[in-house]
Amino acid sequence: MRSRGVAAREASVSSAERLRADLDQAIADTDSGLSVADRLCHACVSVLGVDGAAISLVHEGAIQGTFGSSSELSRRLDGLQFTFGEGPCLDAVLSRRPVLVPDLQHQRERRWPVYAGAVLEAGVRAVFALPVALATLPIGALDLYRHEPGSLGEDGLVGGLLAAEFAALPLLDLVSANTADERDGHADVGWDELAALERVEVYQATGMIMAQLDVGPDEALVRLRAHAFAQGMTASDVAWAIIERRLVLDVDTPWGPHE
C-alpha cells in the first residue's frame, strides 16, 4: 500500500506534466517572436487561474519593454513598473527568485508604495513575478495579476515557473532567426523586433525635454516620470503627449504642464 507521501508526490508530478502539456499546446503552431509571447500570456490566464499576464524585458535594472501580454491592462501595469522604477518584476530579476504577493493591501505589505497604489487603483490585488532567464542570465520576468487576493497555490506556482521557462523560447527564436538572416545576408529581422520593444518614445521625449529646459538626460527623465506619477499616467503616455506637442513641461517644476 502506498504511503500518503508517495501518493502526494505522484499527484504533484502528474499535475506538473498536465500543466506543461497545456502550456505547450497553447503556444504550438504559432509564429516566432512576439506572437508566441502573447499566446503564452493568454495561456497563463487560461491555465493558471490568473486575470492577466505580461512578460517584461529587463536590462541594467530597468524595464526595457513588454515582450508579451494578455491584455491592454496587463501591458499598462507592466508600464507602471518602468514609470515608477519599482515593482515585482524588477525585484524578481534582481533576486533571481519568484516574488509572490497574494494581497497588496495586507498591512505588512509595504513594498513599492507608489506602484502598489497605482495597481490597487486599477483593481488588482495580487501580483506575482517569476524570473525569465537565458542560460543562467535573468533577462526579464513573467508577471501574473489577479483582481482578487489569494496565493497562486502549488499548481499555480509550478505552472508559472514552467511558463517562465517557455517565455525564454521566443527570445531564443528571435536570436536564432537573426543569426540565420545574417548567414543568408538578409536584414536583422530578429534584432529589429527586439529593438522595437524598447521604449523609444521615452528616449525621444527625454531628448526634447533636454532641449526645451536645458537639463541633462537624468533630470529630463526624472521630470517625465514625475509628471506621469502626478497625473496618474504611464511614462509612455507622457512621452507620446510630448512628442505630439500636446504637452510641454514647465521650466520651474518637474510636473507642471502647459497644455
Q: How many CB atoms lie within 10 A of CB 7?
A: 11
All 3 cell numbers of residue 82? 518602468
- Alpha helices by DSSP H, listed for the chain, are 4-26, 34-48, 72-84, 88-95, 113-121, 153-184, 189-195, 200-213, 217-231, 235-243
Total-model pTM: 0.68
**CA pair distance 222, 254, nearest whole angstrom:** 7
pLDDT of residue 68: 85
- Ordered DSSP codes for 75-129: HHHHHHHHHHT-SHHHHHHHHTS-EEES-TTSTT--SSHHHHHHHHHTT--EEEE
Domains of the chain with CATH codes: 4-182 (3.30.450.40), 200-258 (1.10.10)
**CA pair distance 199, 129, nearest whole angstrom:** 21
**CA pair distance 27, 194, nearest whole angstrom:** 19
pLDDT of residue 24: 73
Supply the DSSP symbol for 23.
H
Distances in Å between the alpha carbon of 128 and those of 166, 193, 196? 17, 27, 26
Task: Say whether 70 sits in a helix, a strand or coil.
Answer: coil
Per-residue pLDDT of the chain (259 residues; tens, 9 = 90+): 555 554 444 444 455 676 677 777 766 655 555 678 888 899 899 888 899 999 988 866 666 678 889 999 998 898 888 888 899 999 999 999 999 999 999 988 889 999 999 999 999 999 999 999 877 778 889 999 999 999 998 888 988 998 998 888 766 665 555 444 444 544 444 444 554 555 667 777 888 888 888 888 778 877 887 888 778 777 778 888 888 888 888 766 544 443 4
pLDDT of residue 189: 43
pLDDT of residue 126: 97
Instruction: Name the burial class of residue 156, with classes exposed (0-12), middle (13-18) and buried (19+) by CB atoms within 10 angstroms of its CB.
Output: buried
pLDDT of residue 10: 45
> Which own/partner contact pairs does 71-74 have at CB distance under 8 Å and 24+ positions apart?
73/122, 73/145, 74/41, 74/143, 74/145
Which are the contacts of 224, defined by CB distance < 8 A and separation ≥ 6? Answer: 202, 205, 206, 209, 235, 238, 239, 242, 249
